[in-house]
């Protein structure tokens, strides 16, 4: 598997974990525009139309607080499995073991980016205002478009960007989990303090 194919698979895999429908639609459109790296299966009209329609639905759903986390939960399986299929298609002309590696690698990257997205959204949804949620969603949409574009036009740059995004996503996920644990611990301590009677309550009348 050459470096260009690795970059293409890595970029599409990471993007699929954030928004599988946008990734598939963009790959198909870029393939229709003349980029040979995209296989014919992704350039089919029905594939592009269905993916674009689902992206339009997700574009709205992903910007509604709390509902976006429900949407992410439903797509915990869909995004990685979709990335596996895309990775296998992108490596269609390679040997069988290379196709398997491309599929597994794409699915693994999608799982990692999906977990980062889902964890970030859970943290953002603790805020009562929707502006931050919408802003994060638009940033994710922009990243997906940028990564797919680089994956097709400059796969080595896409590979480097995916590595940086994975590192940043891992650090962010670990930090958010730590914050959530501390918040839960503090909440339990406050509840325990409210249930514990004050020392004066055990004293009799003077």
Q: Is residue 199 part of a domain?
A: no
Give the global pTM. Answer: 0.85
Residue 85 is predicted with a pLDDT of 95
Asked whether the predicted pLDDT for residue 195 surpasses 80, the reply is no
Helices 45-61 and 3-32: crossing angle, nearest 10°?
90
**Distance set, CA 33 to CA 2, 28, 37, 149 (Å):** 23, 9, 11, 12
- C-alpha to C-alpha distance for 79 and 174, rounded to whole angstroms: 21
Residue-wise pLDDT for 42-98, tens only, equals 999 999 999 999 999 999 999 988 899 899 999 999 999 999 999 999 988 767 888
What is the predicted pLDDT for the residue at 128?
A: 63
What would you measure as the largest C-alpha separation in the chain, in angstroms? Answer: 91
* Domain assignment of residue 188, given as a range: 3-194
Assigned domain for 136 exists:
yes
Q: Give the count of domains, the chain.
A: 1
In a domain, 37, yes or no: yes
Indicate whether 200 belongs to any domain.
no
pLDDT at 202 exceeding the cut of 80: no
Q: What is the pLDDT of residue 66?
A: 87
> Per-residue confidence at 204, pLDDT binned at 50, 70, 90?
low
pLDDT in tens, 17-31: 999 999 999 999 999
Indicate whether 203 belongs to any domain.
no
149 inside domain: yes
For residue range 137-188, list pLDDT tens digits in order. 999 999 999 999 999 999 999 999 999 999 998 898 888 777 767 766 776 7
CB 28 within 8 A of CB 38: yes
CA 197 from centre of chain: 47
Q: Is residue 93 part of a domain?
A: yes
Domain membership of residue 65 (yes or no) is yes
pLDDT tens, residue by residue, 99-126:
899 999 999 999 999 999 999 888 888 7
């Amino acid at each position: 598997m050459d470096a260009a194919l690795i970059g293409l698979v890595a970029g599409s895999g990471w993007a699929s974990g954030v928004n599988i429908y946008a990734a598939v639609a963009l790959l198909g459109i870029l393939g229709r525009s003349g980029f040979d790296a995209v296989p014919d299966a992704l350039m089919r009209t029905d594939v592009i139309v269905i993916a674009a329609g689902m992206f339009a639905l997700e574009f709205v759903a992903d910007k509604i607080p709390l509902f976006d986390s429900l949407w992410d939960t439903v797509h915990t399986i869909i995004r990685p499995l979709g990335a596996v299929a895309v990775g296998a298609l992108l490596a269609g002309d390679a040997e069988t073991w290379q196709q398997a590696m491309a599929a597994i690698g794409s699915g693994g990257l999608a799982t990692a980016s999906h977990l980062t997205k889902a964890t970030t959204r859970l943290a953002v949804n603790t805020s009562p205002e929707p502006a931050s949620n919408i802003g994060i969603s638009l940033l994710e949409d922009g990243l997906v478009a940028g990564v797919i574009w680089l994956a097709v036009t400059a796969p080595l740059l896409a590979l480097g960007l995916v590595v940086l995004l994975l590192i940043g996503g891992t650090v962010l996920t670990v930090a958010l989990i730590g914050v959530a644990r501390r918040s839960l611990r503090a909440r339990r301590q406050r509840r325990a303090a409210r249930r514990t009677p004050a020392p004066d309550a055990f004293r009799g009348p003077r």
